[in-house]
Homo-oligomer: A and B are copies of this chain.
Amino acid sequence: LTSPGVAEARVLVINTGGTIGMTLDDDDVLAPKANALVKSLRKLPILHDEVYAQQTAMYEYYGESTLVLPQSKGNKRIIYSILEYSPLLDSSNMTTDDWGRVGKDIEKNYENFDGFVILHGTDTMAYTASALSFMCEHLGKPIVLTGSQVPIYEMRNDGRDNLLGALLIAGQFVIPEVCLYFYNKLYRGNRVTKTDAGSFNAFSSPNLAPLATAEVDITINWDTVWRANTTSKFHVWTELNRNVGLLRLFPGITASTVKAFLQPPMQGVVLETYGSGNAPDNRADLLEELKKATDAGVIIVNCTQCLRGSVSMSYATGKVLMDAGLIAGCDMTPEAALSKLSYVLAKQDLDLDAKKKMMSENLRGEMAADLAGTKLCLSDS
């Protein structure tokens, strides 16, 4: 029934909720509305070609929740089906269970689609993107998270452009990564953080350049795209350990605060330290609490509280933390480090040392490859 010579790509859009699909309710408050998105998109000619849908009897094949983008010059059609969660979720309410559900839905539909788009609220999108990057083992297709700062029903909004860009990338390029697309840029999902609460340009990838830019042209930085060396079958790991936490150092932090935070059942902590991984080295009380925890089997990862930068083993001032048993988090974002901990700690067939080793290795491009040889330390010059 398809037009001769038209190549079709299929994308599954999982609508978890978020601002992109919200409408004003009767109290004039923004709220999600069930089953509204498909209907709305169908009225937007740029996001749906009803004539093609009718001509090809598309709904009979793919169901009522399927839409199709207008044809591109290369005779390519992106057909996308929307799987909407019920109830729709505010991203502030997302939990590790919801990550698992998204993962399972991708796994279930993996063979039938060329790519996946996840609609998601912006508030915790960087956390979900990071978590999915670890959960998706041996990924061979693009998974693109997106959403918007302003609902797609508003006059001025960033939702249409974000959805369209995510669809075009998921349907046309073989980028086998969990990505995040926002404001004309495609980022590696476990490298982003939400850095602006009030701008369309809401996300940054402080330690890695974007994978692609979509302005007048879509330009892919193929050198940066992650290619796992794998022929294994795609699998989603949905078990996650929730006994993890984020603790940020500040001057005058008390040992009792640290102790309270590290008490059982806590099993993994991202410690947001100063600068290149520094902590007070004259605070025996603090360091002792950290040491006690690592001795008791808590994995503590040393990440910087700076937006940009890296924590390495070599800095003397950070040495006391290494002595206390912490692991250097290199240039991981707190979001990546935290969700990596949840993922690694759930690998119950691994012993503690194997888990620690995994934490310090680059699993999905979430930390910098070894830079030896490309840098000349200033103190050497």
Binding site for B on A (CB under 8 A): 24, 28-31, 43-46, 69-70, 72-74, 76, 90-96, 99, 122-124, 127-128, 149-150, 154-156, 161, 164-165, 168, 172, 184, 194-202, 204, 214-220, 222-223, 240, 242-246, 248, 250-254, 256-257, 260-261, 263, 265-266, 272, 274-276, 278-283, 304-310, 316-317, 334-335, 338, 342, 374-381
Q: Are A184 and B196 in contact (CB under 8 A)?
A: no
For the complex, give the distance between the alpha carbons of A95 and B127 in Å. 32
> With a CB–CB cut-off of 8 A, which chain B residues contact A200?
184, 215-216
Q: Are A198 and B308 in contact (CB under 8 A)?
A: yes
Q: Are A155 and B381 in contact (CB under 8 A)?
A: yes
For the complex, give the distance between the alpha carbons of A260 and B61 in Å. 54
The main secondary structure of chain A at its interface with chain B is loop
Q: Are A275 and B122 in contact (CB under 8 A)?
A: yes
> With a CB–CB cut-off of 8 A, which chain B residues contact A218?
375-376, 378, 381
From B44, B95, B194, B309, give the contact of A198 (CB < 8 A).
Answer: B309
Interface centre among A243, A252, A316, A374 (most CB of B within 10 A): A252
Chain B residue with minimal CB distance to A309? B197
> With a CB–CB cut-off of 8 A, which chain B residues contact A217?
198, 375-378
Chain B residue with minimal CB distance to A203? B306
For the complex, give the distance between the alpha carbons of A331 and B310 in Å. 26
Q: Are B219 and A375 in contact (CB under 8 A)?
A: yes
Q: Are B197 and A156 in contact (CB under 8 A)?
A: no
> With a CB–CB cut-off of 8 A, which chain B residues contact A266?
257
Tell me the minimal C-beta distance from A336 to chain B in angstroms.
12
Tell me the minimal C-beta distance from A312 to chain B in angstroms.
10
Q: Are A317 and B156 in contact (CB under 8 A)?
A: no
Q: Are B184 and A251 in contact (CB under 8 A)?
A: no
Tell me the minimal C-beta distance from A11 to chain B in angstroms.
14
Chain B residue with minimal CB distance to A304? B197
Q: Are A252 and B95 in contact (CB under 8 A)?
A: yes
Tell me the minimal C-beta distance from A45 to chain B in angstroms.
6
> With a CB–CB cut-off of 8 A, which chain B residues contact A274?
91-92, 123-124, 194
From B46, B149, B220, B265, give the contact of A374 (CB < 8 A).
Answer: B220
Q: Are A245 and B251 in contact (CB under 8 A)?
A: no
Tell me the minimal C-beta distance from A33 to chain B in angstroms.
15
Known contacts A217-B375, A316-B30; is A197 also within 8 Å of B246 by CB?
A: no
Chain B residue with minimal CB distance to A165? B156
Q: Are A252 and B242 in contact (CB under 8 A)?
A: yes
